[in-house]
Chains A and B, each alone.
Chain A
Amino acid sequence: MRIACPFCGERENGEFTYLGDAKPKRPAMVAIDGGAGAPGEAEAFYDYVYLRDNFAGEMSEYWYHGGGCRSWLVIERNTLTHDIKSVRAAPGAGAAKAGAK
């Protein structure tokens, strides 16, 4: 399999590490005072940590270009055919984000 890294170009998959389903979104960090978290956070984290898809078909997945630019990528890939529809850099990936607030 070959992955077109937005920063490095098309590279062999041995340079990348697979993480898994990119759909679940981590619940936001919350202000803690004295130990109380957000209401319903236990269920939200249970969903985030354990309820992940891994099906045969088109998945949106996290991959890490550890053998290259160290960017995290979001790849739309068909797990049956290994066809890759799109490769996007994670929002904070890439060279120094000078403009980050």
Chain B
Amino acid sequence: MASAQSNRLAKGGLIDRNAPLSFTFDGKAMIGYAGDTLASALVANGVTLVGRSFKYHRPRGILTAGPEEPNALVELRSGARREANTKATTAELYDGLDALSQNRWPSLGFDVMSVNSLLSPIFVAGFYYKTFMWPAKFWEKLYEPAIRRAAGLGRTSGIADPDHYEKAWAHCDVLVVGSGPAGLAAALAAGRTGARVILAEEDRLAGGRLNSDGGEIDGMPAGEWLAGALAELEALPNVRIMTRTAVFGVYDGGTYGALERVNDHLPVPPVHQPRQRLWRIVAKRCVVAAGAIERPIVFSGNDRPGVMMASAVRTYVERFAAAPGKRLALFTNNDDGWKTVEAAHRAGIEIAAVIDSRKDLSQHHRALAQSGGFAVHNGVVVDVKGGKTGVSGVEIALANGGSAQIAADVLAMSGGWNPSVGLSSHHRGRPKWREDIAAFVPEGAPAGMLSAGAANGDFSLSACLRTGHEAGLAAASDLGFKGRAGKAPAASDEAISISPLWHVEGRKKGFVDFQHDVTASDIALAQREGFESVEHLKRYTTLGMATDQGKNSNVTGLAIMSELTRRSIPQTGTTIYRPPHVPVAIGAFAGHHRDENFHSVRLTPSHHWAAERGAVFVDTGLWKRAQWYPIAGENDWLTSVNREVLTVRNGVGFCDVSTLGKIDVMGKDAGAFLDRVYINAFASLAVGKARYGLMLREDGIVMDDGTTSRLAEDHYFLTTTTAKAGPVMQYLEFCRQVLWPELDVQLTSCTDQWAQFSIAGPKTRDLLREIVDPAEDLSNEGFPFMGVREVRLRGGMFARLFRISFSGEMAFEISVPARYGDAMARNLMKAGEPFGVVPYGTEALGVMRIEKGHIAGAELNGTTTADDLGLGKMMSKKKDFVGRVMAGREALTAPDRQVVVGLKPVDKARRLRSGAHIIPKGAAVGPDTDQGYVTSVCHSPMLGQWIGLGLVERGRERIGEIVRAHDPLRGEDYYVEICNPVFYDPEGGRQRG
């Protein structure tokens, strides 16, 4: 049954009483109104107990009405959308909302773990370090799981998030953070000059404290002025108002991170809409008008449900027409707290008493007490009476030495205000202490940032309006905007006086950090044990390390430390502020980059054709490549791969090799350029010829290899491995632009422009003759090995033909513009039908290259030299090249280096595995006897056994030696024979045939 909104005030508030919304809290059905937050609806329904604390499981109520809330954290929604640690104070109410309290078992009212409160002497500061030190092995198995069960906050759903998140950029001249009086004045001033302005507001409504505190601006009620200001801003085309958008971080170059909660106020986001949007806002100037956060006073029982920040009481009463209690007492050390008494009095809430720690009472407050008929006590609260669901009264120690008891069901407290210095300190600015307002204000703000209003320590309404206007105008005129900004909005000034009071000594626990259960005595303990520095204090007590990041506790904590150490507050200092200022879901940072969209996918020109044929694809970098093409009746990959290899070796097959990096190298000095980057000569390469080339890094290690052809006097076509296409391009650009700008050479990446197929096998020419114009001579004389030429195809199209072979077979590579790749694949299949052509994938490609002893990525692994790969003789002795000098280093030319050899198990039935270590026969296994490892393996259908390549110490001198392949990872140990890496057709006759 729905409760009756027992604490809803009869009138007022920015809520829609015609739009009732039903919701549940811990399964209990209740009603609120549109415009409510979950917290305000709970207040309206008379709910005071909303959670249990982190360490002691103490009953807790709603403390604040904003994003700084430490207590009222709930699990919002259910199932996959369940979101832990959601602040009830910022969660907008919607129809059907369901929320659960956290950190209690079995129920909020009766919590087994509240026994921790009795054991509290154990749970003091540093208890993690002291209690669970010994024995070490107990930590992982016993202590940590137990602590995690007992402590901790909400539960995650454990299910993938069904909603999506997006990321966006925005650019502006002036970013205004916060839309309270200062932010509005700043946006108006800057907007009127013509500057592009973004006004970001975390709340659903613009207005900030105007929505809670009212007041009078330019002679009209604050609400009326606010409506006019918003209308003017909305009418300005150069101003954009972004509500539900929290600016959470300041990054380099005027980049600001902001989180827009697009649809958090709905049960489920509308179709095609994200739940949240992560903004990167690039702003030339920024005005931080993020307001201030009221701070608690530390006294016995200050965490009891029913003790609330004075400003929050005001917000619930004024903005939400929800009364946190029927009889209110106020404990304050400043004038601002008194506004709560005025608001509560206006709303008809009985005022029990005001306890003001200051001796002198202003005329205004004296009159207020008289008309309200309540007592004002000069003193402090020393204890709060009541039960787990609320306050029944307070005990006061009077300044004159006496004491008093007052009955009340809500205690509002105000210890003064802390300007929001988070954003202005994100670039390591250290806030400056201002004695007159007993608070830190921004200092050392990031370039281009100004703070205004309460965020800068100007707490009065008139000062907010004035400084906001000034900051907005300064930011715009600094950028050269000259339009008329008009006059600053005016309000009648209110003096705000404060006399610092941080901590009242008491018999019981007084809380500093409500969320992490850090008490004044924990701080004292930290001080006694030598953890006086604020950074030590923070880590030893965990002060400010909860999800609220100590927004309402850090300054109080360090103020207490400064009292204990008899240092001043500025001497004590603050910890470092880092983004994010508010918690941001990882999902928002990821945006759309999850699951299949985690990274972009590159498809080969024949991909769709291959997919139609049922090819199995493998990810190689961003590419999807056909791994093998199973046909009917084939159930395991090896059968398919063996068939593909045998068909190529005996007939003909083709493979899409478009993923190899392709770079056009053009210009008068193209040959000279390639001579410098390759170890072998290219300037001397004849037009119409291709050559295998090897590149070194400057340190003498092999970088990449590939076949490069000369298409014209001033035009080379360079290829790279698939994996290194990008890095080689970047490196060659470095050589061209930085190292040798004097060379006349240009580079163009054309990997995506060409579809290239390798056609291999003894029947390759038969197949090609069906494709290529009959006038083209494909004979060994007319098109010799390593020849390159543009040919006319049947039908008149042109293609590039390269007579190169990776498989060791008679082979050509044919290259057509990428858009013809699909057609070429279909053509090759159709034309090859009479010859039994098969498409082959990367597995068969790999098998054939291992059979031929060709190196690939596993051997080009960033540790091998040209000589290690058996290619040392390629290093030219007639010209200089990158890596030449360093390749000559002693260790890179040592005779005992591990070099590429072939390996085959002695037991022919045995499977060889990559990664196995090579140990001399008879030697014990150990790092000193480890002589190398297996790099690449395959099952060779030509040899009828598993074979592989490996890097083995002095391998080339040991052909025929039997060694151990030791594979502790798989628990295998067997003998292999070191052999020539070219297993198949070592004379190379087939590819030249």
Contacts and interface: CB of A to CB of B under 8 A. Distances in A.
Contacts of B252: 1-2, 13, 82
A82 B14 CA distance: 45
B576 interface: no
Interface string B689-731: 0000000001100000000000000000000000000100110
A92 B886 contact: no
A37 B742 contact: no
Contacts of A27: 885
B130 interface: no
Interface string B857-880: 000000000000000000011111
Interface of A: 1-2, 10, 12-13, 17, 19, 26-27, 29-35, 37, 41-42, 44-46, 48-49, 62, 64, 66, 70-72, 81-82, 84, 89-93, 96-97, 100-101
B374 to A, nearest CB: 55
Contact of A2 (B254, B676, B726, B736): B254
A37 B880 contact: yes
**Highest count of chain B CB atoms <10 Å: which of A12, A46, A72:** A72
Contacts of A64: 730, 733-734
A70 B733 contact: yes
B827 interface: no
B740 interface: yes
Contacts of B886: 45-46, 49
Contacts of A71: 737
B885 A37 contact: yes
Given A10-B253, A32-B877, A35-B877, 12 more contacts: A17-B730, A29-B740, A32-B884, A49-B699, A64-B730, A64-B734, A66-B726, A66-B730, A72-B737, A72-B738, A100-B741, A100-B742
B888 interface: yes
A31 B880 contact: yes
A92 B255 contact: no
Interface residues of B, number: 36
B118 interface: no
A101 B733 contact: no
Nearest to B884: A37
A42 to B, nearest CB: 6
Nearest to A43: B885
Given A37-B880, A37-B884, A72-B738, A45 B730 contact: no
Interface in B252-289: 252-255, 280, 282
Contact of A101 (B726, B734, B742, B879): B742
B609 interface: no
B737 A91 contact: yes
A32 B878 contact: yes
A67 B676 CA distance: 26
**Highest count of chain B CB atoms <10 Å: which of A12, A19, A64, A97:** A97
A34 B280 CA distance: 58
A45 B698 contact: yes
A26 B880 CA distance: 13
A13 B729 CA distance: 20
Contacts, number: 91
Contacts of B737: 71-72, 89-93
Interface string B732-748: 01101111111110100
A90 B741 contact: yes
B123 to A, nearest CB: 40
Shortest beta-carbon contacts, A-B, top 4: A92-B741, A2-B253, A92-B737, A91-B741
Interface of B: 251-255, 280, 282, 427, 676, 698-699, 726, 729-730, 733-734, 736-744, 746, 876-880, 884-886, 888-889
**Highest count of chain A CB atoms <10 Å: which of B252, B736, B746, B885:** B885
Contacts of A93: 737
A72 B878 contact: no
B885 A45 contact: yes
A27 B254 CA distance: 39
Contacts of A13: 252-253
7 contacts: A27-B885, A42-B885, A49-B698, A64-B734, A92-B736, A97-B741, A100-B742
A78 B877 CA distance: 43
Contacts of A31: 880
A90 B880 CA distance: 23
A32 B740 contact: no
B738 A29 contact: no
A92 B737 CA distance: 4
Nearest to B739: A26
A84 B878 CA distance: 44
Nearest to B888: A42
B739 A32 contact: no
Given A33-B878, A49-B886, A62 B738 contact: yes
B738 A90 contact: yes
A65 B271 CA distance: 38
A67 B224 CA distance: 50
B956 to A, nearest CB: 22
A83 to B, nearest CB: 8
Contacts of A97: 741, 744
A91 B888 CA distance: 30
Contacts of B743: 92, 100
